Amino acid sequence: MTANALVEAAGLVRTFGTRRAVDGLDFALAPGECLALFGPNGAGKTTTLRVLAGLLKPTAGTARIGGHALPAVEARGRVGLISHRSMLYDALTARENVVFAARLHGLTDPDAAAERALEALRVADRADVAVRALSRGLQQRVAVARAIVHAPDVLLADEPYTGLDEQGSAALTALLQERRAAGAALVVVTHHLHEGLALASHAAIMLSGRFVRFERAAGLDVPAYAATYRGLVA
């Protein structure tokens, strides 16, 4: 176990039948670190994130959040998950969805926390509208508000920019940077190299369940990295 690591994967393997979707990942993220995970469709990025969120059990190896092995309640309580799916109840309003999440995390003032989260995503003015009546982009903003309402130590984001317009993307980037500055560890899965690298302290390219590259993002030549990426996934 790596001291001080908020996110830790050791020999992480996840199989579906005979297919190894995640094939022996080892990495650790300390507070304030962000891993940008790139790779083509089917590389195992989403499966990795789902294991780190406690939604899938590892077939072998371990995944830990703040030193707690997943899917322990202590580990899950420190995680915020953003997906390309909204994970919202469309019959409830934006506020009700976020307040419900806040209550499940045991926040002392769920209403105030929900209001803050919705304001951070610039969607507070639509807080009392049913989610089904919101556009896809606004739903994604509410989904992000739901994921960050409890100020998680670890934020796992799978294609978080899906459906967001320019203003929404800027709000999300600012929020992710703010969470990182506050000491949260982030894992961001994205196909957008520039956005990912701008956020990240570490970058990894994943192919067939393995990291084929894993390095510090600082000082990376982005055009050269993009060319390498294109060459690897071609």
Partner 1 sequence: MTPPGTLAAAWLIARKDLAIEFRTRSAFLSALVFSLLAIVIFRFSWDPTAVAALDLAPGVLWVTFTFSGLLGMHRSFGVEAHDGAMDALLVAPVPREAIFIGKALANLLFVLGVQAVALPAVVLFYNLPVGNGVFALIGVMLMAAIGLACIGTLFAGMVANTRMAELLLPVLALPFFVPIVLPAAQATAQILADRPLSASLAWLRILLAFDLVFVYACTLAFPFTLED
Q: Which is nearer to partner 1, 29 or 149 (CB)?
A: 149
Q: How far is the CB of 41 from partner 1 (least distance, A)?
A: 18
Q: Which is nearer to partner 1, 135 or 194 (CB)?
A: 135
Q: Which is nearer to partner 1, 62 or 201 (CB)?
A: 62
For residue 206, the SS3 value is strand
DSSP 3-71: TT-SEEEEEEEEEETTEEEEEEEEEEE-TT-EEEEE--TTSSHHHHHHHHTTSS--SEEEEEETTEETT
Binding site for partner 1 (CB under 8 A): 53-57, 73-74, 76-77, 79, 81, 83, 85-92, 96, 100-101, 103-108, 130, 146, 150
Q: How far is the CB of 226 from partner 1 (least distance, A)?
A: 30
Q: Which is nearer to partner 1, 163 or 168 (CB)?
A: 163
Q: Which is nearer to partner 1, 107 or 233 (CB)?
A: 107
Q: How far is the CB of 47 from partner 1 (least distance, A)?
A: 10
Q: How far is the CB of 216 from partner 1 (least distance, A)?
A: 29
Can you read off the two tokens belonging to residue 202? 């570490």
| Whether 16 contacts 51, CB under 8 Å | no
Q: Which amino acid is at 106?
A: G
Q: How many CB atoms lie within 10 A of CB 17?
A: 6
According to DSSP, residue 93 is labeled B
| Whether 35 contacts 188, CB under 8 Å | yes
Alpha-carbon span 137 to 10, nearest angstrom: 36
